[in-house]
């Protein structure tokens, strides 16, 4: 996701297309089929197994990165990035 702020990325339409397509495939493969949500304050206070904590952490990171991906898509679709006709 850091690549999205790289000047080369901002100028290269083909790079943007590759990044968006690649991330789409990755998220499609790793997103679970069940609804992901962050644990509540009460759930965080409860004693849980290490595996549950690990799963919560994984899901939290997954949600944050998916949110960044969606924001990147919105930015591209709204035309806020500089689009050049010629890739570098």
> How do residues 35-56 score in pLDDT, each as one tens digit?
888 999 999 999 999 999 999 9
Question: Does 71 fall in a domain?
Answer: yes
- Residue 87 placed within a domain: no
Q: Is the pLDDT of residue 85 over 50?
A: no
Residue 5 confidence (pLDDT): 64
Q: Which long-range contacts (CB under 8 A, 24 or more apart) does 58-62 make?
A: 62/30, 62/31, 62/36
- Asked whether residue 85 is domain-assigned, the answer is no
On average, the pLDDT of the chain sits at 81
Residue 28 pLDDT > 90 = no
Q: Return all residues near 42 (Cβ < 8 A) that are at least 6 apart.
A: none
Number of domains in the chain: 1
Q: At what angle do helices 50-77 and 13-30 cross, to 10 degrees?
A: 150
Domain of residue 48: give its range. 2-77
Q: What stretches of 1-88 show up as alpha helix (H) in DSSP?
A: 7-11, 13-30, 41-45, 50-77
On whether residue 62 sits in a domain, the answer given is yes
């Amino acid at each position: 996701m850091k690549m999205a702020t790289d000047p080369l990325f901002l100028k290269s339409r083909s790079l943007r297309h590759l990044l968006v397509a690649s991330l789409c495939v990755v998220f499609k493969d790793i997103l679970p089929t069940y609804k992901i949500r962050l644990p509540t304050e009460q759930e965080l206070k409860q004693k849980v197994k290490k595996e549950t904590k690990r799963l919560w952490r994984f899901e939290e990171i997954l949600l944050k990165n998916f949110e960044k991906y969606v924001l990147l898509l919105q930015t591209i679709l709204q035309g806020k990035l500089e689009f050049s006709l010629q890739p570098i």
